[in-house]
Chains A and B, each alone.
Chain A
Amino acid sequence: MEETRILLKNIGKINPVSSADYVAAGGYKGLKKAISNPEAIVDIMKDSGLRGRGGAGFPVGLKWSFTKGTPSDQKYIICNADEGEPGTNKDRILMSGDPHSLFEGMAIAGVAVGATKGFIYLRAEYPYLLPILNDAIKDAEAAGFIGKNILGSNLDFEIEIRSGAGAYICGDETALMESIEGKRGEPRYKPPFPGVSGLWGKPTIINNVETLCNVPQIIDKGAEWFRSIGTESCPGTKLFTLSGNINNPGVYEFPMGVNMRTLFKEVGGGCPGGKKLFAVQTGGASGAIINAEMLDMPMDIECCAKAGAVLGAGDLMFIDESINIIDVVENLIEFFVEESCGKCTPCREGNTRLLEFVHKFKDGTAREDDLERLIEIGSFMQVSSLCGLGQASPVPVLSAIKNFPDKFIVKSDERGQN
């Protein structure tokens, strides 16, 4: 099946640093339009139905309207380029191949809400992107697309790159802001939401790279056009990352709602060595692990949620029959034990307890009440943790228990005393 290349249209085709190349390919037209009528942008974004591509799927227009509606002497636009999800590199592809589309998206956001300063919070593992991005920024500044007095409009929009702290949690929007502020990268409680009180307490829009790269074409071609792609609740395309036991791993762009089976079979080419697909983890390390029998699933936020899966940032990890699901779960919880920031009790203490129970299943020493306790703690973490990490980290194990009950065997005859 053919990809629908909207975000990836320039990748590999233009000199990424050159704004002239980008303009020749139709770039910076959205920004021009935005400058001619800044008032209209937020409404266009609302009409477009674009939702955040960083994982949570929050409506972009609505998010921007909060910041627009909060008066302040200073506002910020942050691009979340932390891309911390293991195995994901969609944002890297966009930034290395078409950085101007990101700058344009940020500048439009700035113009829309009255922000004059933007930050790109770049994943620590992407230092090699720094020169490309910096050169591209210089180029765009020289051409007057960003910096002072952009396109002669009297509006300013500067972009600065900040290197990430190398911690998964710094991908969380509020931890990221703490990190930019030079503090220990730990999430803040919400509300207040960043749109109203974000970086240094100022109204701040934070969006994922992919989200922002969608913006220029929406402003240029209109909300109508955008809504014609994808599904009713999730218009547009999505970058999907296929990984795990798959013949053609990589990043592919398809309209929202593309069937998972299509992605697995036609795009991914199935499991290597003709092995049978056993399970799929969708939505990254904290996504649900579903049974291969559920493969017929349209990939958009609503449909995934209905099936107990997560679209997240569009990650699909395929797991074939040779893999022990308990090992997968163990691995994932170990990741979260490592990556928990340690601020709140449920996640800091809870993940280590989840791991202890999973070890019991691995050793075959688990008892009935261990399973109950595991589910109890996991469910507790989901509703009581401070941030998305702790709230989602039990998802893999809980979904695995639900979808593969026979893999979590307990010595039911020995109901233990605690």
Chain B
Amino acid sequence: MPKVYIDGTSIEVENGTTILEACEKIGVEIPTLCYLKHLNPAGSCRLCLVEVKGSRLLQTACTTPCAEGMEVTTMNQNIYNARKLVLELLLANHDDGCFSCPNNGKCDFARYCMDYDIEKSPFPRNKEFPPVDESGEFFTYDASKCILCRRCVRTCAELQCNNTYTLKGRGHETMVGLPFNQLFKTSNCVSCGNCVSVCPTGALSTKSGKKYRDWEIKKTQTTCPYCGVGCQIELHTKGNKVVGVEPLDGPANNNLLCVKGKFAYEFINHKDRLTKPMMRKGGKGSPLEEVSWDEAMSHIAEKMLAIKAESGPDSLAGFASARVTNEANYIFMKMMRAAVGTNNVDHCARLCHASTVAGLATTLGSGAMTNSISEVVDSDVILVSGSNTTETHPVIGAKMRQALLRGAKLIVAEPREIDLAKQAEIFLQIRPGTNVAFFNGMMNVVIEEDLLDKEYVENRTEGFEELKTLISEYTPEKVAEICNINAEDLRKAARLYAKAEKASIFYSMGVTQHSTGTAGVMCTSNLALLCGKIGKYGCGVNPLRGQNNVQGACDVGCLPGDYTAYQKVVNPDARAKFEKAWGVSLPDKPGLTITETIGAIESGDIRCLYVMGENPMLSDPDINHVEHALKKCEFLVVQDIFLTETAELADVVLPAGSYAETDGTFTNTERRVQLVCKAIEPVGDSREDWDIINELMDRLGYKNNFSSSSDILDELAGTSPSYGGYSFERLKKEQPQWPCPNKDHPGTPVLHIGKFSRGERAIFKPSPYIPAAELPDEEYPFVLTTGRVLYQYHTRTMTGKSEGLTNIMGTSFIEINPTDAGKLGIANSDKVKVASRRGEVTVEAHVTDKVAEGILFMPFHYKDGPANKLTNNVIDPIAKIPEYKVCAARLEKF
């Protein structure tokens, strides 16, 4: 702990603290340009110069570590002159069009020039610049405004790990550019915009249609509404319009964002937003007409009460949403349970991670990521299976790559040669639907070669003998055959994983969305347990949850068998607790899942369906079947921000406020509860989700005492052990991960340390490999697998409104191997007809060796060419999750 003197003030600092950091601690401001938190210091701009007694040279505060007894002077004439010269030298070749610069008002460089009394540079311009690069969808690059701080280059290389930039030329000719004189459009840039966010000048500027100055806008700290990473963002609003997004230093994202979080905010103020309640006044078949809230609400209440009276509460069902806040979800499930009296409430987690919840709850006792996102950077080995992380959870993908930069090794087991595969130490291109065999094979090698953690297995697990017996069948050779991989690679992967000190497993829907999804999930925990890698920093089994609040929607009880925090409906104590809290008696029978609900509508058992913020018409498997059911549904209410495909079929449509128009919380994939804050008022006559449900409950005869979503969180905290420590007040300051049982609890970054959630021991659940339900045959010779792409999200209700994203990836496609394409006479970009036993769609072919022979891949986001017309709705018997990832298909040139 060296003690240093800064302008005479003494301060003791941690070893390795730089002068700049020490200055920050005591509130001494030092100007910086190249310095940026989270980046390795560069020490290149030389603006942060200070004097250190005893040194002939001026020292850069951003790079110089404090040493015992160091005496630092942060300002005197000498320092002032030197910094001023740095700025003058930079300004000479900086375009002086400040008035028209979009960065005006928030430009660090301009501010420093002002601080150092510089109006214009005393030096003449002596550089030439290339024209502005306007080729990208979201931002422009104007070299004549660049001051060569290299924040962009370093951010792209060290944090985003995309290496898009290069430094061109040397010496005075040095310039930030792209390799081989490319433009952004043709480069490998993924439009994350992280370089733009860090540019201290207007050299990198967002292409925003709106012109505004920094001082005209209001800034609201909130959480990204897209994927489960839960990036913290600052929404910039002018009047009631969102005009920009900047990253914040949240615990999950550390100032990074992806293209969706950064740029896809057009949907918020989009003209297609629902602004008025609508109803089919003339009954089914008549058009949707705008009505008043009162009319809509009283109609809904009347219908719901009537159906309940006639057919009982279980003839109603509700779909909550992985997109809306915990508070809206909580009050929604409370409505279904307390006001309607049914457990028929579910949401789309069923379609992505029900198998995770079921599988990990069985083996470990808790169905969530065991470890924290930030730990991945410190992992020694990362095993990714069934997750195209850089596209679906881009910021976690970036952090994995940061780990690789630090020397971590990556194992990828995926049907497609995803981007991460290119950086993998070992890439195993497994056949879709063979995850269970793959993991069993890994375990076979671990046991066979005696690489297991015996002490851990002995002391912390049960069921090892059964596991061993089953696993002995899965020799690398046999597994290699099933998965179509190389047995030696499998051995190498197993050794690498087992021998690493810190090894983490990441998986997503590639593991869960199978008829054997729960088995697949249990296999991941079997492997991790076998190697003693649960309950330790940098390790764990980490399911990546797809949507922003899918974790939260599960946590707060939008599951047919669970109240909040996974308290079981069938557990009389839990039921009694909620009956007491809510003052009503509650049903004891678990409700229907999404997939079962669709069936029950078909059969007439369910007469009313209330859908809040979901679009089952595109997201559910076998959408022909879903469409049929929804059309048949006697009374369908849809509460959403757009007239989705599902809303189009509704009897009543209620306009909800988007995440930018509401307060509440989201729980990200690492169990972290974070605030969502209202930046603008709900557009038009739309209302916040919780507020709509609150009024409806009143009309259904159940009175809540909620006047804000903060009140709802308080009730939620009171009834849910793992959420006990949360309140809006606390979440403004810190965002602990659950379990967080009380307000003094610091939260739980790593689960299962010392003891498992399920008890003393975790359990091995050996699972045999069972082939996918539908395998290719003569008629349907291909395996079709589905997934997501970076540039779209879910069913595109939000991303589809972004012009830039639409331009980059606006239409559906199917990936096919060049050999297969050759045999069928299909060329890249050809239109092809894809058919399965359930339907047929026409899409564009992308001929690529990303997919192996015999395999097809389609994204599921698109209305034109919807993949879920083809997918198989056969479900996993335990978790009831559909097998989106494998079905048999055939295709031909259109």
Contacts and interface: CB of A to CB of B under 8 A. Distances in A.
Interface stretch (A42-50, A51-59, A82-90, A377-385): A377-385
A380 to B, nearest CB: 5
Interface string A344-370: 111011111100100000000000000
A383 B85 contact: no
Contact of A380 (B45, B81, B123): B81
A248 to B, nearest CB: 35
Contact of A342 (B85, B123, B173): B173
Contacts of B60: 189, 386
A385 B122 CA distance: 20
B170 A167 contact: yes
Given A189-B63, A340-B171, A391-B57, A384 B126 contact: no
A60 interface: no
B400 interface: no
A351 B43 contact: no
Contact of A384 (B42, B57, B90): B57
A349 B81 CA distance: 16
B82 A342 contact: no
A342 B172 contact: yes
Interface string A309-353: 000000000000000000000000000011111111110111111
28 contacts: A189-B41, A189-B42, A191-B64, A191-B65, A340-B170, A341-B171, A342-B148, A342-B169, A343-B174, A344-B46, A345-B45, A345-B47, A345-B86, A346-B46, A346-B86, A349-B89, A349-B93, A353-B89, A373-B122, A383-B56, A383-B57, A384-B49, A384-B82, A384-B86, A385-B46, A386-B43, A386-B60, A391-B57
Given A184-B167, A384-B57, A352 B43 contact: no
Contacts of B169: 342
B82 A383 contact: yes
B58 interface: yes
Interface in B194-248: none
A418 interface: yes
Contacts of B126: 352, 356
A214 B497 CA distance: 48
Most chain B CB within 10 A, of A344, A345, A380, A384, is at A345
A358 to B, nearest CB: 14
B172 A352 contact: yes
Contact of B171 (A342, A383, A386): A342
B812 to A, nearest CB: 41
Interface of A: 167, 184, 188-189, 191, 337-346, 348-353, 356, 373, 376-377, 380, 382-386, 391, 418
Contacts of B86: 345-346, 384
A350 B172 CA distance: 9
Contacts of B82: 380, 383-384
B269 interface: no
A167 B170 CA distance: 10
B57 A343 contact: no
Contacts of B44: 343-345, 386
B92 interface: yes
Contacts of B93: 349
Interface string B30-59: 000000000001111111010000001110
User: Ordered nearest first, which 6 A-B pairs have the shortest CB separation?
Assistant: A342-B174, A189-B43, A349-B89, A340-B171, A189-B63, A342-B171
A339 B174 CA distance: 12
B343 to A, nearest CB: 57
A351 B126 CA distance: 12
Contacts of B148: 342, 345, 348
A386 B170 contact: no
A376 B92 CA distance: 17
A341 B41 CA distance: 18
Interface string B168-180: 0111111000000
A346 B170 contact: no
Interface string B80-99: 01100110011011000000
A246 B123 CA distance: 40
Nearest to B89: A349
A398 to B, nearest CB: 15
Nearest to B175: A342
Nearest to B56: A383
Contacts of A377: 85
A324 to B, nearest CB: 25
Interface residues of B, number: 35
Interface in B520-567: none
Most chain B CB within 10 A, of A352, A376, A391, is at A352
Nearest to A347: B171
Contacts of B92: 349
A121 B547 CA distance: 52
B174 A346 contact: no
Contacts of B122: 373, 418
Interface string B307-330: 000000000000000000000000
Interface string B157-186: 000000000010111111000000000000
Contacts of B43: 188-189, 344, 386
A189 B124 CA distance: 29
Contacts of A384: 46, 49, 57-58, 82, 85-86
Given A189-B42, A189-B60, 13 more contacts: A184-B167, A189-B41, A337-B172, A341-B171, A342-B171, A344-B46, A345-B45, A349-B89, A351-B172, A383-B56, A384-B57, A384-B82, A391-B57
Contacts of A356: 123-124, 126
Contacts of A350: 89
Nearest to B51: A383
Given A189-B63, A344-B43, A339 B85 contact: no
Contacts of B89: 345-346, 349-350, 353
Given A352-B126, A383-B82, A345 B173 contact: no
Contacts of B41: 189
Contacts of A373: 122
Nearest to B147: A345
Most chain B CB within 10 A, of A167, A188, A346, A350, is at A346
A380 B85 contact: yes
A380 B124 CA distance: 19
A385 B46 CA distance: 7
A279 B60 CA distance: 36
B31 to A, nearest CB: 13
A160 to B, nearest CB: 21
Contacts of A382: 57
Most chain B CB within 10 A, of A191, A337, A384, is at A384
A152 B123 CA distance: 65
Nearest to A353: B123
Contacts of A340: 170-172
Contacts of B49: 384
A380 B58 CA distance: 9
A365 B60 CA distance: 36
Nearest to A342: B174
Nearest to B60: A189
B594 to A, nearest CB: 51
A338 B44 CA distance: 18
A342 B150 CA distance: 11
Most chain A CB within 10 A, of B44, B57, B86, B90, is at B44
A75 B44 CA distance: 27
Contacts of B85: 346, 376-377, 380, 384
B90 A345 contact: yes
B68 to A, nearest CB: 14
Nearest to B167: A184
B340 to A, nearest CB: 62
Contacts of B57: 382-384, 391
Contacts of A184: 167
A349 B47 CA distance: 14
Interface string B132-154: 00000000000000001000000
A277 B80 CA distance: 42
A191 B19 CA distance: 13
